[in-house]
Amino acid sequence: MKDIKDYQGKNVLVVGLGKSGISAAYLLKRLGANVTINDKKKLENEDQLAAFSKRNIKCVTGSHPLELLDDTDLIVKNPGIPYENELISAAVERNIPIITEPELAYRITESQLIGVTGTNGKTTTTTMIALMLNQNREEGKAYTCGNIGISAAKVAQEVGEKDVMVTELSSFQLMGIEKLRPHIAVLTNIYEAHTDYHGSRENYVKAKMRIVKNQKEDDYFVVNWDSEEWRNLSKLTKAKIVPFSRQDTTEEGAYVKNGVIFFRGEEIMHVDEIKVPGSHNVENALAAISVAKIEGQSNENIAEVLRTFSGVRHRTQYVTTFNGRKFYNDSKATNMEATEKALSGFENPVVLLCGGLDRGFTFERLVPYLKKHVKAMVVFGQTADLLEEAGKLAGIGQIEHAKDSSAAVSAAYEMSSEGDIILLSPACASWDQWPTFEARGDAYIEEVEKLTREEK
Binding residues for ATP: 118-124
Residue 351 to residue 325: CA distance in whole angstroms: 10
Task: Please provide the distance, in angstroms rounded to a whole number, between the alpha carbons at the two ends of the chain.
Answer: 53
What DSSP letter does each residue of 46-106 carry, written as one string? HHHHHHHHHTT-EEEESS--GGGGTT-SEEEE-TTS-TTSHHHHHHHHTT--EE-HHHHHH
How many other C-beta atoms are found inside a 10 Å radius of the C-beta of residue 371? Answer: 14
> Listing from the earlier edge strand, what are the strands of the sheet with 11-15?
58-61, 34-39, 11-15, 74-77, 98-99
Please name which of 423, 129, 150 lies closest in space to residue 294, comparing C-alpha atoms: 129
Residue numbers belonging to the annotated binding site: 118-124
Beta strands, E only, 79-209: 98-99, 112-117, 142-146, 164-168, 184-187
- Residue type, position 131, single letter: L
Any residues with CB less than 8 A from the CB of 156 and at least 6 apart, and which?
1, 27, 104, 105, 106, 108, 109, 111, 145, 165
Contact 169, 146 (CB under 8 A): yes
Asked if 246 and 211 count as a contact pair (C-beta separation under 8 A), the reply is: no
H/E stretch holding 25: helix 19-30
